[in-house]
Structure 1
Amino acid sequence: MQESTVTAKGQTTLPKDVRAALCVEAGDKLRYLLFDGEVRILRARPVRDLKGVLKRSGQVPVSLGAMEEAVAEGATNTSE
């Protein structure tokens, strides 16, 4: 378990193991998620880093029109 001290200004130093696990360096941005008294720290990623994150090999691109048709078909299909 890692720990650090909070200064009077509310600052702390991330322990080296934590920085390594998050792959953060000086100047990187972090995000803090609050859950019932717990905090999760994530390395903030620019939107451009998400390019291709959903791509799978062999997957054929689908047009916007085809997506709209599938959504409309699903919205009218009430068999479930």
Structure 2
Amino acid sequence: MVSATVTSKGQVTIPADVRTQLGLSAGDRIEFVLNEATGRYEVIPATGSVTALKGVIRKPAKLISIDEMNAAIVEQGASA
């Protein structure tokens, strides 16, 4: 069993072999998820793919053409 110590600031250094098994490197984010079946927390790498974001943002009710976008940019630029 691998263990780590929590510092007074609440920080924990994840042991190297655990980082390797999770595929973590410096700057990566992790999530702590409560497993309700066991009552324990699980550490999960938060390294999702961009494709996982599909469907997060709804399609606009009205589609806007490139010409309309350009006109809006010109209008904003003129008022600035």
TM-score by length of 1: 0.55
- What corresponds to 1:4 in structure 2? 4
Task: Tell me which structure has the larger Cα radius of gyration.
Answer: 2
Provide the alpha-carbon RMSD of the alignment: 1.9
- What corresponds to 1:60 in structure 2? none
Unaligned runs of 5+ in 2: 54-80
Q: Residue 24 of structure 1 aligns to which amino acid in structure 2?
A: L
Aligned identity (percent) is 37
- Residue correspondences, number: 51
Deviations 1:38-78 (A, max 9, x none): 11011112341549xxxxxxxxxxxxxxxxxxxxxxxxxxx
Q: Residue 38 of structure 1 aligns to which amino acid in structure 2?
A: R
Unaligned runs of 5+ in 1: 52-80
- What corresponds to 1:14 in structure 2? 14
TM-score by length of 2: 0.55
CA distance in 2, matches of 1:49, 1:24: 20
What secondary structure is seen at the aligned counterpart in 1 of 2:42?
strand
